[in-house]
Amino acid sequence: MNYAVWFSAELEKLQDRIGYHFSDVGKLENALVHSSYAYEKGKLEHNERMEYLGDAVLELGVSRFLYDSFPSFDEGRLTRSRAALVCGKSLAEWGRELGLSELLRTGKGLETEQVRHGSLCSDAVEALVGAVFLDGGYSRAMDLVVRYIAFHLSRHPIDGDETDPKSALQMLAHEKGMPSPVYEVLSVSGSAHSPIFSVRVLIGSKESGAGDGESRKAAEFAAARNAFFLLNREELEPE
């Protein structure tokens, strides 16, 4: 197998999975270079600076989502919820889902299990967010953060969530003079004992958000949170 050809094809697939295609694919490649690999190969660039930037972008996006979506949460609960959303274990879980653990270039001294289940995979997620921010700007980086939030909440609902996100989305839609949201099941995958529902929410004829969950209700809640975040963010974006 020609590794260069395989790697290039996998980068294309990764960009499809995250919903963003880089203008400068070199930024994506750098996001997948660990310092141990750069040291062995005599390269100057690796992903630590992008990881630093991505960490800040991720915290900003998650902070704004929580602030908008949970008006009853005080500062302490917001902080705890953010910590749960951006913890290394959750980021690594998404990184494995995206296939970053297979694409991350590391030195020979690092075992595969370290990459897949340790901090290296979560660091790669932060570097990926930083790379998208550098290549596409704030809006596209926030789109990626929203994808992560939807993934996380479909598997790990926020503790103490007293607000029904479907009700919150409906109220927001009505405030904006928009029709009531309608939820549509896109697919049901997995086994009969452990299904994963994929749902989208339509406001009018437009898809406004999507989410996954282990039940239809959980998937609808994830889609509603996604749509709520996006509708609120639109107010802040310049025309």
Which positions are annotated as active-site residues? 55, 126
- Which two tokens mark 194? 């452990």
DSSP track, the chain: --HHHHHHHHHHHHHHHHT---SSHHHHHHHTB-HHHHHHHT-S--SHHHHHHHHHHHHHHHHHHHHHH-TT--HHHHHHHHHHHT-HHHHHHHHHHHTHHHH-B--TTS-HHHHHHSHHHHHHHHHHHHHHHHHH-HHHHHHHHHHHHHHHHHHSPPTT--S-HHHHHHHHHHHTTPPPEEEEEEEEEE-SSSEEEEEEEEETTEEEEEEEESSHHHHHHHHHHHHHHHHHHHHHS--
| Spatial contact of 230 and 146, defined as CB atoms under 8 Å apart | yes
Contacts of 237 (CB under 8 A, 6+ apart): 139
